[in-house]
């Protein structure tokens, strides 16, 4: 429902970039690239396309993955009579929005989004100039902030939405997500408890509460939420696979993973997680496939197959999330021959990984299982 309503707001705006933005602080922190983007879009509306393109290119030089700025440059080139160059910029923006790991399919739809949401934030801020007393624009902008990984700003909008509409379970559930993202897990659980009491079959709220419980080490409570969620996901193999992986229930995950490897060739993590389930079930690996254009997942697949070393994989782990993924897979690879080493790797995942990662939950469950 919220997605449809947010879409209606965008339609009411006509075009998302043709709104004044003078009261909005870019990204909440005034980054130079975002300020250049906002100045460029304002100039473009006044007809100064040449200067707009120059400023957009400056923004892109600072932030090469700023897909909104690249798309805006395409629009300016299109209006300036250069459709071939515009098409290239549109293609580049589209490509950038597809880069990176997709959001986990078992989570709230807002958190499954990729890419920059600067333009949406600008548009909703403009709407709020005249609709401050309505909850929906606050909720919509909060969603854009949350999708843009700015939970503090999202939380402020959700609180304003709840002041205007205190009984909004949607706003309360999203507030729980924002609190959890800020590390305020106990407060998140309190908010999500109220949502689930009113909507016991809210699969996404159960998922969020499970993540918050697991972050606090409440393994049984987290697993209880995820098992309830799993029972609500009939016919959704992607989400079911992720929930089962969080539970480290590889037998349940296996058929869902097999289905996703057959049906979704775009996401290389399905092949990786299928290998994870097979190894933990002590079954032979299926035919190893190369993953085009994703050297990171290819390196983890090589680790599973015994063709890459720990040092090689860890040298490629260039983000905290990738480090957690690598450590988890090292634990999986070690488990059959050295369970103490496997536990050590999984303890590092729990010590350093984000609670939202499927590897974090799976590692906690592996450790709890080995301790019992």
> Which residue matches tokens 């969020």?
208
In Å, how far are 112, 114, 133, 239, 320 from 363, measured between CA atoms?
A: 22, 26, 45, 19, 15
Tokens (6 digits) for 147: 């999708």
Q: Strands (DSSP E) along the chain, which ranges? A: none
Say how far apart CA 70 and CA 167 lie, in whole Å.
40
**∠262-287-304 over CA atoms, to 5°?**
105
CB count within 10 Å of CB 207 equals: 30
- Judge contact between 205 and 192, C-beta under 8 A: yes
Mean pLDDT of the chain: 86
Looking at 44-53, 163-172, 222-231, which range is the least confident one?
44-53
Q: Is the pLDDT of residue 26 over 50?
A: no
Between these two residues, 79 and 158, which has the higher pLDDT value?
158
- Judge contact between 248 and 369, C-beta under 8 A: yes
Say how far apart CA 174 and CA 319 lie, in whole Å.
26
pLDDT tens by residue, 159-213 = 999 999 999 999 999 999 999 999 999 999 999 999 999 999 999 999 999 999 9
Tokens (6 digits) for 308: 């890459």
Residues 6+ apart with CB under 8 A from 42: 20, 21, 22
pTM of the model: 0.78
Say how far apart CA 191 and CA 180 lie, in whole Å.
10
Looking at 12-21, 70-79, 255-264, which range is the least confident one?
12-21
pLDDT tens by residue, 227-244 = 999 999 987 999 999 999
pLDDT tens by residue, 306-358 = 999 999 999 999 889 999 999 999 999 999 999 999 999 999 999 999 999 99
- Judge contact between 328 and 345, C-beta under 8 A: yes
Say how far apart CA 359 and CA 115 lie, in whole Å.
23
pLDDT tens by residue, 254-306 = 999 999 999 988 889 999 999 999 999 999 997 765 555 568 999 999 999 99
186: nearest Cα among 146, 213, 151: 213
Q: How confident is the model at residue 2 (pLDDT cuts 50, 70, 90)?
A: very low
Cβ burial, residue 31 (10 Å; 0-12/13-18/19+): middle
Q: Is the pLDDT of residue 118 over 90?
A: no
């Amino acid at each position: 429902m919220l997605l449809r309503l947010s879409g209606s707001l965008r339609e009411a705006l006509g075009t998302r970039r043709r709104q004044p933005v003078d009261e909005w602080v870019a990204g909440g922190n005034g980054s130079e690239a975002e300020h250049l983007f906002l100045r460029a879009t304002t100039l473009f509306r006044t007809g100064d396309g040449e200067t707009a393109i120059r400023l957009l290119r400056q923004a892109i030089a600072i932030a090469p993955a700023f897909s909104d700025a690249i798309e805006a440059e395409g629009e300016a080139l299109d209006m300036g009579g250069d459709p071939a160059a515009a098409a290239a910029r549109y293609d580049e923006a589209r490509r950038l929005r597809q880069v990176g790991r997709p959001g986990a399919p078992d989570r709230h739809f807002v958190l499954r989004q990729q890419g920059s949401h600067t333009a949406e934030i600008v548009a909703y801020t403009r709407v709020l100039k005249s609709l401050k007393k309505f909850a929906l624009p606050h909720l919509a902008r909060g969603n854009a902030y949350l999708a843009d990984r700015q939970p503090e700003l999202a939380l402020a909008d959700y609180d304003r939405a709840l002041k205007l509409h205190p009984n909004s379970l949607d706003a309360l559930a999203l507030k729980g997500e924002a609190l959890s993202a800020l590390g305020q897990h106990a407060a998140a659980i309190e908010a999500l408890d109220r949502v689930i009491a009113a909507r016991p079959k809210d699969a996404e709220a159960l998922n969020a509460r499970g993540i918050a419980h697991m972050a606090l080490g409440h393994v049984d409570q987290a697993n209880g939420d995820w098992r309830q969620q799993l029972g609500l996901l009939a016919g959704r193999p992607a989400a079911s696979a992720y929930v089962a992986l969080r539970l480290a229930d590889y037998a349940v995950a296996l058929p869902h993973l097999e289905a996703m490897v057959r049906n979704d060739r775009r996401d290389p993590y399905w092949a990786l997680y299928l290998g994870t389930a097979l190894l933990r079930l002590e079954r032979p690996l299926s035919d190893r496939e190369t993953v085009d254009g994703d050297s990171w997942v290819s390196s983890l697949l090589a680790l599973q197959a015994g063709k890459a070393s720990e040092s090689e994989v860890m040298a490629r782990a260039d983000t905290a999330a990738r480090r957690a993924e690598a450590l988890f897979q090292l634990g999986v690879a070690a488990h059959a021959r050295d369970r103490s080493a496997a536990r050590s790797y999984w303890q590092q995942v729990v010590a350093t990984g984000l609670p939202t990662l499927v590897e974090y939950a799976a590692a906690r469950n592996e450790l709890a299982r080995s301790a019992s």
